[in-house]
Structures are given as structure tokens and as C-alpha cells.
């Protein structure tokens, strides 16, 4: 059976095209060799389960590896200590193939009768005996720990693991324990001992830092595509396609795989992309990204659910995207912690930025919808006029600017300066969205997003267009902006760019003109 790209559950090397995880396995094994206990915390569908299953195979040469999934435990397993201990014992019996026979008998007997005093302590005494009797050191992997993070019984379990780790010089215990989930259990706190000071500690403050990079770099994506290319010989430019996929996803694993899966299974063979060779192009990638931006899937369902559940998360994402705010990286702020934990944002230098272009655009679309875009007259004008701007399948950006200038001046030309300064660029995107909807998409370049300048990159049928939106600050400032845009076009290998300036001078000359700067053609619109 031919391999496929996978976005549902863990990837299997014999069934799915996968990134080579060898270097990551080596880094994690070094931590295991060192006896580290740690957590793998990443957002939804970030490849955590695939990583753990690969670890089971990779570590199996030197360790007895037991892989538990807390999703296998029902809600009743967390009702009390006896139920939890019994459920864990049963899960270990199913998961551990190389249990010493006498240990298996002890666990079987324990599973049948947990009606003893302090069953969890009894279970950990069996663990000690197991680690003593095993020919190889024992490594415990637990996936989906989020299932239990709000449960006191699980916190007691963590406290027992911590106790065993701290006493490892006195009695055998697990060589390493690895917990995987979205939430960082290291930040869960409880009263471990009810002393008079009621001290509150983390039951997982023994965890080592997990610094292994789990996002896919362009070289990782290229390696996966080479395997695909061996099967289908599309003739794609692997390095170029890998970089383009990375540019949209920043290596978020499920987004990388989703683009590839769409190109392979749904875009190739269509009227526009009749062959796989035609699909595996930048034009095909734009089509795939457009499909992702409009589909319902577990990742985006989770994103919007979390945004609506946590007002502080919604506010910080809104400030970054809609207000151009620069948010300093401060993990002690709940809003920053949430954005990082759920994978919606990342640390870049000393500030917080949205994790990738796809998340950015999806959130822009969501926030614009929140603001009733269909009630916006600019949106309705763009929707009404959208067909006039397409010529031979290409976007006539100059004509879009001309019509926007006229429409904006008619509707909002007499508004106060602060209104235009805060919202001018939003009106342009509201005007643009229905024009490119379903065929193209846009994203805002994070490096230039601020209160005075925003660069919008528009993808339409595989062709990129750069349009700088800015506030008019005089001729000298405008000339610097022209030079900046000219230099920026070099980065995108373009000879032509566009500039839309919102000017507050009473004697301004609205309209569109063309200028030459540094060998580039700039179409400048002033409103």
C-alpha cells in the first residue's frame, strides 16, 4: 500500500510520509541516559504522540519502555485512589511486554484487589520491585496527561513519582519518566504535606527543561518530500516548495502535513491542477492554504474555543493583530502563558508573536467577523465590485487601489484623524477580502506591523503582491517608505509594489500615481 500524508493521530513509518526524527530521538535519549524526568508540552496536533511512539522503538534497545495513554482511562478511574491504582495497573499489564514474571503476578494480584490501605503506595512498591528485577532500566512514557491534570488523584500520583525520583539513590525507580500533553503539569501546585505553614509546591518541580525543537524546519520538510518524490517523480523544486510550506506554517507539524495532504489528494487531479506536478507548486500551496483557512478541523475548533474561553487570551491576540501592539515576552502573565501553552504564539527575540501565518490569517478573519464585517459598507462595495478587478486570472492591484481611494474618500473622508489612523488599514482589508475570497489569501508581515506601517502580502493564483499601508507623515517620511518598500520587494523577488497612504492634510491630493525607486516600480495611492 502506498504511503500517505497523515493528519489524524500518530504517524506510522510504514504507512505515512514522515519527517526524519533521528536527531530528536538522539537528543531525548541523552536526557533519558541522564536520568531526567520531563514533560513534552506543545499545542494540539504538534506531533507529541508520534514522538512518544517513535521513542518506544528508539529506546527499546537499551531500556524497557512502557507507554501509557491516559485517554485509555475512563472518568471512573479518577474517582478515588483505589480506582486509579487499579486502572494504572491494568494499563501497565497491557502495555509492558517484558515484565518479569513475578512482577506481572504481583501487578495482576494488585489489580484484582486494591482494597488495601494506601493502594497507591502499594503500587509504587511494586514499581520499585519491578525496577530492581528488570534486566534493563525502565522508562515510563505517559501520553495525554491533560486528561487528569485537574484531578487530585493524579496530583498524588505525580507526588509519588517525585518522591521516588528524590530517593533514587536509596532504592531503584524509573530511569526516566516522560509526560506529554498540552498543559504543563509542572505548574500544577498542591499541598504535598499538610504542615502548619501549608506550604504549596509543584508535584513536578523535578522536571528537566525540554528544549528539543519539535517544529519542522525547511530541511525536515525537504527530507519528507524527497521520500514522496521517489514514489511520484513530480519534478517539484523540493527546497523551494519546502521553504514555501515553512513560510506559511513556521513548521507547525499538522499544518505542514495538511498542506501536503491537500496537494497530494485533493488538489492534484482538479481542473486547475490536473497532475501532481502541477499541484506541487507555489500556486498549488496557495490553493491548499486557502482551503485550510476555510475548513473546520479540530485544530481551529480548539483555537477558537480557547479564544472564547479565556478573555485574557482573546485580548492579547487581538492587541497583537488588530492594534499592532508589541507584547513583551513575560511568561508570568496569564495571557502570555496561555498563548504559548496552546501554541497560538511563540517567543521571538524578546516579544510575543503569532505562531504562524495561517494562525494569523485565521484569527484576522475571526476578529473581522466579530466586528460584523458584512455590516461594513467597505466590505459590501468590495463584494459588489470584485469581478472587475480580475483580468486573465490575475489581480489588478492598481485598479483595486484606485477604486478603494474613491470609495473610502466618499464614505470616510471627513472623519477625524484618530479614526483613520486606528482603522484605515482594517477598511482596506475589509474591501480586499471579498475580492480575493476563495481564490487567494493574504497575510500581514509581522516584521512591519505597527501603528504607522503595515505590509500586506497578497497571494492570488500563485502570484504574490506586496502592498504597504501607512500613515502619511510628510514627503521625507514618504521617501524613506518608498526606499523601504523597494528594498522589501527584493526579498520577495518582485519588481513592482504598491503603497497606500492615509493622509490627514486638508489640501491633500488623493489619487494614484506611479514612481520609480531603485529600479522598482511603485504604485502609490493617497487617501
DSSP one-letter string for 368-414: HHHTTGGG-HHHHHHHHHGGGGEETTEE-HHHHHHHHHHHHHHHHTT
**pLDDT above 50: residue 197:** no
* Cα atoms found within 13 Å of the Cα of residue 68, Cβ hemisphere only: 18
User: Do 498 and 468 meet the contact criterion of CB atoms below 8 Å apart?
Assistant: yes
Neighbours of 212 (CB within 10 A): 16
User: What average pLDDT does this structure show over 442-457?
Assistant: 71
**pLDDT above 70: residue 200:** no
Sheet strands side by side (includes 496-502): 440-444, 453-460, 463-471, 496-502, 520-526, 511-517
DSSP state for residue 204 in the 8-state scheme: T
Segment 247-261, tens digit of pLDDT = 999 999 999 999 999
Higher-pLDDT residue of 418, 337: 337
pLDDT tier, 459 (very low <50, low <70, confident <90, very high otherwise): confident
**pLDDT above 80: residue 326:** yes
pLDDT averaged over the chain?
88
Q: What does the block give as the cell for 482?
A: 518608498
DSSP one-letter string for 294-329: H---HHHHHHHHHHHH-HHHHHHHHHHHHS---EEP
Instruction: Tell me how far apart the alpha carbons of residues 313 and 321 are, in angstroms, rounded to a whole number.
Output: 12
Residue whose cell numbers read 489528494: 265
With a pLDDT cut of 70, the percent of the chain lying above it is 91
**pLDDT above 80: residue 361:** yes
Higher-pLDDT residue of 492, 201: 492
Instruction: Tell me how far apart the alpha carbons of residues 463 and 292 are, in angstroms, rounded to a whole number.
Output: 18
Q: What is the pLDDT of residue 192?
A: 41
Cβ burial of 441 (10 Å; 0-12, 13-18, 19+) is buried
User: Do 54 and 21 meet the contact criterion of CB atoms below 8 Å apart?
Assistant: yes
pLDDT tier, 448 (very low <50, low <70, confident <90, very high otherwise): low
Residue whose cell numbers read 506481572: 104
Instruction: Tell me how far apart the alpha carbons of residues 161 and 204 are, in angstroms, rounded to a whole number.
Output: 8
Instruction: Tell me how far apart the alpha carbons of residues 291 and 258 are, in angstroms, rounded to a whole number.
Output: 10
Instruction: Tell me how far apart the alpha carbons of residues 33 and 56 are, in angstroms, rounded to a whole number.
Output: 14
Q: What is the pLDDT of residue 110?
A: 87
Q: What is the pLDDT of residue 189?
A: 52
Q: What is the pLDDT of residue 372?
A: 64
Contacts of 483 (CB under 8 A, 6+ apart): 517, 518
Segment 106-144, tens digit of pLDDT = 998 888 887 778 899 999 999 999 999 999 999 999 998
User: Do 348 and 370 meet the contact criterion of CB atoms below 8 Å apart?
Assistant: no
With a pLDDT cut of 90, the percent of the chain lying above it is 54
Instruction: Tell me how far apart the alpha carbons of residues 388 and 391 are, in angstroms, rounded to a whole number.
Output: 8
**pLDDT above 70: residue 191:** no
Instruction: Tell me how far apart the alpha carbons of residues 69 and 83 are, in angstroms, rounded to a whole number.
Output: 16
DSSP one-letter string for 459-479: EETTEEEEEEEEE---HHHHH
DSSP strand pairing (440-444 vs 327-328): unpaired
**pLDDT above 90: residue 413:** no
Instruction: Tell me how far apart the alpha carbons of residues 258 and 270 are, in angstroms, rounded to a whole number.
Output: 18
Angle (CA) 9-15-16 rounded to 5° is 65
Cβ burial of 474 (10 Å; 0-12, 13-18, 19+) is exposed
User: What average pLDDT does this structure show over 398-413?
Assistant: 90
Q: Is the dihedral of CA 110, 116, 120, 123 positive or negative?
A: negative
Q: What does the block give as the cell for 376?
A: 461594513
User: What average pLDDT does this structure show over 322-334?
Assistant: 86
Amino acid at each position: 500500500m502506498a504511503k500517505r500524508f497523515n493528519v489524524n493521530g500518530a504517524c506510522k513509518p510504514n504507512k505515512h510520509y514522515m519527517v526524519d526524527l533521528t536527531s530528536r530521538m538522539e537528543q531525548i535519549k541523552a536526557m533519558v541516559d541522564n536520568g531526567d524526568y520531563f514533560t513534552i508540552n506543545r499545542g494540539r496536533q504538534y506531533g507529541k504522540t508520534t514522538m512518544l511512539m517513535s521513542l518506544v522503538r528508539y529506546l527499546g534497545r537499551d531500556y524497557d519502555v512502557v507507554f501509557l495513554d491516559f485517554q485509555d482511562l475512563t472518568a471512573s478511574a479518577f474517582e478515588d485512589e483505589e480506582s486509579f491504582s487499579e486502572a494504572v495497573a491494568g494499563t501497565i499489564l497491557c502495555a509492558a511486554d517484558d515484565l518479569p514474571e513475578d512482577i506481572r503476578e504481583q501487578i495482576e494480584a494488585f489489580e484484582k484487589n486494591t482494597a488495601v490501605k494506601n493502594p497507591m503506595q502499594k503500587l509504587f512498591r511494586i514499581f520499585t520491585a519491578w525496577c530492581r528485577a528488570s534486566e534493563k532500566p525502565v522508562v515510563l512514557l505517559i501520553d495525554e496527561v491533560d486528561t487528569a491534570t485537574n484531578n487530585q488523584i493524579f496530583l498524588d500520583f505525580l507526588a509519588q513519582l517525585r518522591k521516588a525520583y528524590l530517593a533514587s539513590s536509596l532504592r531503584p525507580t524509573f530511569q526516566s519518566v516522560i509526560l506529554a500533553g498540552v498543559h504543563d503539569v509542572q505548574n500544577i501546585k498542591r499541598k504535598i504535606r499538610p504542615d502548619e505553614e501549608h506550604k504549596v509546591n509543584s508535584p513536578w518541580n523535578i522536571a528537566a527543561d525540554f528544549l528539543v525543537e519539535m517544529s519542522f524546519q525547511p530541511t525536515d520538510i525537504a527530507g519528507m518530500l524527497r521520500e514522496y518524490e521517489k514514489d511520484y517523480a513530480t519534478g517539484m523544486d523540493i527546497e523551494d516548495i519546502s521553504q514555501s510550506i515553512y513560510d506559511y506554517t513556521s513548521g507547525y507539524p499538522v499544518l505542514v502535513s495538511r498542506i501536503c495532504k491537500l496537494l497530494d489528494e485533493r488538489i492534484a487531479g482538479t481542473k486547475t491542477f490536473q497532475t501532481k506536478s502541477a499541484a506541487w507548486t507555489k500556486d498549488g500551496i496557495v490553493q491548499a492554504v486557502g482551503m485550510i483557512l476555510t475548513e473546520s478541523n479540530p485544530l481551529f475548533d480548539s483555537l477558537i474555543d480557547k479564544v472564547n474561553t479565556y478573555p485574557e487570551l482573546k485580548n492579547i491576540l487581538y492587541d497583537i493583530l488588530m492594534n499592532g501592539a508589541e507584547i513583551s515576552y513575560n511568561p508570568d502573565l496569564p495571557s502570555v502563558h496561555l498563548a504559548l501553552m496552546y501554541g497560538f504564539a511563540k517567543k521571538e527575540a524578546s516579544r510575543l508573536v503569532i505562531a504562524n501565518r495561517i494562525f494569523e490569517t485565521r484569527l484576522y478573519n475571526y476578529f473581522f467577523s466579530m466586528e460584523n464585517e458584512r455590516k461594513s459598507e467597505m466590505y459590501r462595495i468590495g463584494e459588489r465590485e470584485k469581478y472587475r478587478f480580475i483580468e486573465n486570472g490575475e489581480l489588478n492591484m492598481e485598479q483595486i487601489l484606485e477604486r478603494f481611494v474613491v470609495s473610502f474618500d466618499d464614505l470616510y473622508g471627513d472623519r477625524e484623524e484618530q479614526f483613520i489612523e486606528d482603522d484605515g488599514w482594517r477598511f482596506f482589508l475589509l474591501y480586499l477580502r471579498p475580492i480575493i475570497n476563495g481564490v487567494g489569501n493574504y497575510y500581514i508581515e509581522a516584521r512591519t506591523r505597527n501603528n504607522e506601517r503595515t505590509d500586506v502580502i497578497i497571494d492570488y493564483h500563485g502570484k504574490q503582491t506586496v502592498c504597504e499601508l501607512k500613515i502619511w507623515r510628510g514627503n521625507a517620511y514618504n521617501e524613506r517608505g518608498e526606499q523601504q518598500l523597494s528594498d522589501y520587494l527584493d526579498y520577495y523577488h518582485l519588481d513592482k509594489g504598491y503603497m497606500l497612504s492615509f493622509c490627514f492634510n486638508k489640501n491633500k491630493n488623493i489619487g494614484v500615481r506611479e514612481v520609480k525607486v531603485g529600479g522598482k516600480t511603485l504604485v502609490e495611492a493617497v487617501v
